[in-house]
Amino acid sequence: MEKKKPNAENAVNLKQKDLAPDTISDQGELMTTNQGLKINDDTNSLKAGERGPSLLEDFILREKITHFDHERIPERIVHARGSGAHGYFQVYESMGKYTKAGFLQDPSVKTPVFVRFSTVAGFRGSTDLARDVRGFSVKFYTQEGNYDLVGNNMPVFFIQDAIKFPDLIHAAKPEPDNEIPQAATAHDSFWDFISLSPESMHMIMWAMSDRAIPRSLRMMEGFGVHTFRFINAEGKSSFVKFHWKPILGMHAVAWDEALKISGKDPDFHRRDLHDAIESGAFPEWEFGVQIVAQEDEHKFSFDLLDPTKLIPEELVPVQRIGKMVLDRNPDNFFAEVEQVAFHPGHLVPGIDFSNDPLLQGRLFSYTDTQLSRLGSPNFHEIPINRSVNTVHNNQRDGHMRQQINVGKSSYHPNSVAGGSPAQATIAEGGFSSYEERVDAHKVRARSKSFMDFFSQATLFFNSQSEPEQNHIADALKFELGKVERVEIRQRMVNLLTLISVPLANTVADSLGLKAGKPQEPVNHVLGADANPADYKPVKVKSEIEKSPALSMANAPKDSIKTRQVAFLAANGVESTDFENMKKALLAAGAVVKVVAPKNGTLKDSAGKEIKIDMSFLTGTSVVFDAVYVPGGGKSIDALLAEPDAVHFINEAYRHCKAIAATGKGAELINQSYVGAKLKNGNADAKAGILTEAAPDAFIKAIAQHRFWQREKKDKVPA
């Protein structure tokens, strides 16, 4: 393929153009076998007589069943459950000062991307709302080859060295004897491993926080986690951490809500991503970088190579350097989302690795795993994995080879092909690794600079708002409450004392244990012959006491775009209220759904027919962000006679959502549990309840996302 000069128009279409020849529609076509033979009867197999045995010669039956038998491939060992989308990335201005990466130079270039979000522990069919880390993988189809940024929605990781990854994952996955539990870390083996691995404490704070139960994949941050390098055209290196900042802000659901969504709509996140893109509300993230000069490598209280540490944004601000927009759903889930193969080692010139020992191990694992998952070293030829620039090298053959290489030479150097393909000079875009001086003994060891396991865990916990801290405590109580072995629970409580004594106390109390004073952790990072004194955990003083950037409570709350609002209604719903509120919410970008006692249509007070989106049987409060009850005497009487309508309000209250009513709609609220709160509750208990709601006030309330101050203060019957 001839190399095209990128410009905004052709670059955005380049991957789509590349996929087009492999994309097929069966619309209006006749059915064929895989050999192209037209099929006359796809309904009956070939038999010896109508009631006789099937015949071996029925190649049509055999082909169909054989293909079916082989439809499944091994699911990913981690991150099996995922959802994907196409889009593009555009840099705001040239980053040439720091990196020569082509896709970070020209603001007019739209680089195509494919993104896959995932949960880590669950199987492919597991619920989206599991408490878990979310994968955030981006494949940039650049003019210089594919660049994969294979990150997570949390900026740190559980372990410091890749050699512990199989242990971590074995401990987290369902237990091997009975394969219980699914998509959950609330079990003995996970917490056994964690309680013996104090290096995981910072990540545990993140995993127990609301970051682990996002409201939407579109409303979470992404992180490259490791420190990488940027290399500019002069060969100068800087360290860099990568960030994705969601334009819609960061939001989470409540844990009780997550548990209920897992039953009511286990595809909640996948559906949300798909529906947003289909409706034209394209998810967007700004791409951020934290850049640290090469000479500042040792300037921090932590080691830049330690993946259990982040660089607080207050120390090194995140520069927002570009934007990613996801604007197209995949055509075929298997061909694209399942077969996409990411690898942190898919690099372009201008970006390079650091010596983070977790990253170094990943560089081996990702190609290796594709070999068993996709079955062939030719997985790069699968359309979704193909780079937009043509591949030229001397690799040949193997299972399912697609490319037809011409000529006699498949080696280098050669003369029979005039030396082609030739090596590229650096000026021609040839990749050359950063020339780092390494002068060391070969050792199997952990750096002493990695031994501070608690400072950033404490920094994270102390930076959270009060409701966020409560949620972390509740998550630990839940998770450890599911642990059966008391010694594991106690070890965890002991570790928590080193993060926050009040946190340890409240968790211990719920478990029927005592926290006591901070204690030395049981530390398992050392080898059998190592000297424990060399591995003693240390607590280094962080540069800052609090990092506001770590709290979701401080994220912008200025938009209700794509928020789902339930309108509870029945026949006779007040027409003007209904229409006015709907118009205002739609204008602000929200999605309105009518939930009624039964499916079909209803008639409003003006006799107009309104389509019902869901009945109370399928339309549950947990899949909405807010609820509105328009007036209309007949409608309210019907809703009052419907226990699920009252429950809807109670549950929305429990999950701290905005609740609004107009006219007689207030009666439904007053007769629910919320009525008593409105009468006798304090300001916190009433927050976000609008019984005579002006559309503007309701919009403002929905933008707040949740009124967490209502939580805990009430024992809501929902």
Interface with ligand HDE by CB under 6 A: which residues? Answer: 76-79, 82, 116, 118, 135, 137, 150-152, 157, 162, 165, 225, 341-342, 358, 361-362, 365-366, 369
Number of Cβ within 10 Å of residue 415's Cβ equals 7
Q: Which is nearer to ligand HDE, 246 or 663 (CB)?
A: 246
Residue 200 CB, shortest distance to ligand HDE, in Å, is 12
Token pair listed for 263 = 């039953």
| CB neighbour list of residue 378: distance below 8 Å, 6 or more residues apart | 398, 399, 400, 401, 402
Exposed (0-12), middle (13-18) or buried (19+): which is 545, by Cβ within 10 Å? exposed
Q: Which is nearer to ligand HDE, 115 or 565 (CB)?
A: 115
136 labeled binding residue: no
Residue 558 CB, shortest distance to ligand HDE, in Å, is 29
362 labeled binding residue: yes
- Return d(Cα 266, Cα 273) in angstroms, integer: 13
Instruction: For residue 210, give Cα distances in angstroms to 453, 470, 641.
Output: 21, 10, 36
Element spanning 494, H or E = helix 486-497
Q: Which is nearer to ligand HDE, 112 or 307 (CB)?
A: 307
706 labeled binding residue: no
β-bridge mates for residue 242, sequence order = 289
| CB neighbour list of residue 700: distance below 8 Å, 6 or more residues apart | none
Q: Which is nearer to ligand HDE, 78 or 627 (CB)?
A: 78
Q: Which is nearer to ligand HDE, 154 or 457 (CB)?
A: 154
- Return d(Cα 242, Cα 148) in angstroms, integer: 12
- Return d(Cα 3, Cα 678) in angstroms, integer: 67
Q: Which residues of 96-106 are buried (b: 16+ CB within 10 A; e: fewer)?
A: eebbbbbbbbb
Single out the catalytic residue among 86, 146, 152, 505: 152
366 labeled binding residue: yes
- Return d(Cα 389, Cα 392) in angstroms, integer: 9
270 labeled binding residue: no
Number of Cβ within 10 Å of residue 319's Cβ equals 16
Q: Which is nearer to ligand HDE, 361 or 675 (CB)?
A: 361
Q: Which is nearer to ligand HDE, 120 or 493 (CB)?
A: 120
Give yes or no: 298 in active site.
no
165 labeled binding residue: yes
Give yes or no: 494 in active site.
no
- 599 touches 619 (CB < 8 A): no
Residue 110 CB, shortest distance to ligand HDE, in Å, is 22
- 667 touches 636 (CB < 8 A): yes
Residue 171 CB, shortest distance to ligand HDE, in Å, is 14
Pick from 715, 705, 707: nearest CA to 689: 707
DSSP states along 210-275: GGGSBS-GGG--EE--S-EEEE-TT--EEEEEEEEEETT---B--HHHHHHHHHH-TTHHHHHHHH
Residue 346 CB, shortest distance to ligand HDE, in Å, is 11
Residue 26 CB, shortest distance to ligand HDE, in Å, is 28
Residue 154 CB, shortest distance to ligand HDE, in Å, is 8
Single out the catalytic residue among 79, 251, 269, 343: 79
Q: Which is nearer to ligand HDE, 152 or 216 (CB)?
A: 152
Residue 244 CB, shortest distance to ligand HDE, in Å, is 12
- Provide φ and ψ at 220, rounded to 5°: -135, 155
Token pair listed for 518 = 């901070």
Residue nearest to ligand HDE (CB): 135
Specify the amino acid at residue 160: Q
Query: Which residues does the annotation place in the binding site?
Result: 76, 116, 165, 362, 366, 373
Show which residues are catalytic: 79, 152
Query: Which residues does the annotation place in the binding site for heme?
Result: 76, 116, 165, 362, 366, 373
